[in-house]
Structure 1
Amino acid sequence: MISTILLVITIIAFGIYVFKNPPNQRTTSISELSAPESSTNDKICMDYSDDPMNTLDIDLIRDMVDGYKNNQLKHINDAENIDDAYSIWFDLDILKKFIYHIEYKALNNNNAINPENLGLRFYYSRYPDELPSQYTDLNTVSITYAKHHTLIAIPTYRKNENSPNIDFNPLDTDTFWEGIPSNYSGPISSLPLTKSSQNQSIGAQNHGSLYPPHSNNGIAF
């Protein structure tokens, strides 16, 4: 009799506990069980749908482009005796891939990197006097680009909000905190074995389409 009473009390107590603490009904998928808690990709795949798109006044754009064409560009053309470029076009997918790899390589090589402190510096630059040239990176560049103005994008990083933005190579951790020295020739682990491979590569982007010499359908002619 006593055992029956104890069994009834236990059942009632368990029922009250379940009522107050119902089990979680959520089911876990196989993919969730097998997925890692976090990854480098999770840190860099961002959603900016809640942020407004940046804009500039159209008259300001025209005024600034005309200011360059009527001043700096005019002096360049007169000095070089060429019709130099005043715009450059990049395929959007190329830029997205480049930005992705900057973040991915940097975070993969050093998880202390803060993605919010990464950036890009665009250097005004100039193609060699003759193309093709000694640089294999320019083998696919049109010969009509010789002597023309272009841009080179280099990744940057700053240690904190009050630090300067320094150029760095996402492929070489030695450059993460102190930047790229003036005599830099590439990661130490990949020093050249032959004279022909003396110049080492770093993360950078060039090879956009110039106007002129290509045709332009931009907003500012």
Structure 2
Amino acid sequence: MKTKLHLKSAILLIIIALLFQSCLDKPKTKKIDRPKQAIDYEYANALEEEFKKTRGDTINKYLNIRDTREFWFDLDELKKYIAYVEQEADSLGYKNLGIRIYKGAYPRDKSHPDPGYSTVILVPTGDKITSKGSFLPVNITFSGNNNINKIPAYNFAHAGKPPKEL
């Protein structure tokens, strides 16, 4: 009888301990350092002002539109796209992955999301591994971060019409 009571007490204590354990704060993840290519907001604003002064007005004048110069992508969707690129590039034998951003423009016909306006296209890049097996202890790669045309590009950001100031 006492054994059953001790067993029930032990089980109850284990359950209580597990409940308290689940309430403890989770350990914080490692702090991410600022990327080397991150720039201050003031410098970013100066670059945008230079674009407007040297290119933006000319584009707007000759196209007779107030073209967009900023694009917004949903961060979760970008993460999904990057994960997809990593998955597909791995299966295709690419390493040293990156994203190249191209400027583009939609034709003026109404079948496009923003007829006549600028857009950007994100294209995955990487180095193709051309040899995995050889008598040399190194992989041979084709260098240069070439576009990976077997992985779909990414488009359809939300563009500012009119553009938002930085």
TM-score of the superposed pair, with normalisation by structure 1: 0.51
Alpha carbons of 1:85 and 1:157: their partners in 2 closer, same or farther (altered >3 Å)?
same
**Alignment correspondent of 1:167:** 147
**Alignment correspondent of 1:12:** none
Verify: 1:125 aligned to 2:104, yes or no. Answer: yes
**Alignment correspondent of 1:41:** none
Question: What are the Cα deviations for residues 89-125 of structure 1, in whole angstroms up to 9, with x where unaligned?
Answer: 0000110011000111121344xx33xx011110010
Report the Cα distance in structure 2 between the residues aligned to 1:72 and 1:87, rounded to whole angstroms: 14
Verify: 1:205 aligned to 2:148, yes or no. Answer: no
Give 1:149's aligned amino acid: S
Provide the secondary structure at the position in 2 that maps to 1:124. strand
Instruction: Using the TM superposition, give the Cα deviation of residue 85 of structure 1 relative to its aligned residue in structure 2, in angstroms.
Output: 0.2
Give the root-mean-square deviation of aligned CA atoms. Answer: 2.3
**Alignment correspondent of 1:60:** 43
Alignment of 1:20-169 (within 5 A): 49-54=30-35, 55-110=38-93, 113-114=94-95, 117-132=96-111, 138=112, 141=113, 145-159=114-128, 163-169=143-149
Alignment of 1:2-21 (within 5 A): none
Report the Cα distance in structure 2 between the residues aligned to 1:50 and 1:148, rounded to whole angstroms: 39
Give 1:163's aligned amino acid: S
Give 1:156's aligned amino acid: T
Report the Cα distance in structure 1 between the residues aligned to 2:115 and 2:98, rounded to whole angstroms: 29
| Paired residue total | 125
Give 2:146's aligned amino acid: I
Report the Cα distance in structure 1 between the residues aligned to 2:127 and 2:88, rounded to whole angstroms: 16
Instruction: Using the TM superposition, give the Cα deviation of residue 163 of structure 1 relative to its aligned residue in structure 2, in angstroms.
Output: 2.1
> Which has more strand, going by share of residues?
2
Q: Any runs of at least 4 consecutive aligned residues in structure 1 with deviations exceeding 4 A, and if so which?
A: 159-162
Report the Cα distance in structure 1 between the residues aligned to 2:110 and 2:75, rounded to whole angstroms: 26
Question: What are the Cα deviations for residues 114-158 of structure 1, in whole angstroms up to 9, with x where unaligned?
Answer: 3xx0111100100111121xxxxx4xx2xxx21111100111112
**Any unmatched runs of 5+ in structure 2?**
1-28, 129-139
Instruction: Using the TM superposition, give the Cα deviation of residue 50 of structure 1 relative to its aligned residue in structure 2, in angstroms.
Output: 4.6
Percent identity between matched residues is 30
Question: What are the Cα deviations for residues 27-51 of structure 1, in whole angstroms up to 9, with x where unaligned?
Answer: xxxxxxxxxxxxxxxxxxxxx9454
Question: What are the Cα deviations for residues 196-221 of structure 1, in whole angstroms up to 9, with x where unaligned?
Answer: xxxxxx511010011124x74x6x1x
Report the Cα distance in structure 2 between the residues aligned to 1:130 and 1:70, rounded to whole angstroms: 29
Question: What are the Cα deviations for residues 148-201 of structure 1, in whole angstroms up to 9, with x where unaligned?
Answer: 1110011111247882111113xx4xxxxxxxxxxxxxxxxxxxxxxxxxxxxx
Alpha carbons of 1:104 and 1:53: their partners in 2 closer, same or farther (altered >3 Å)?
same
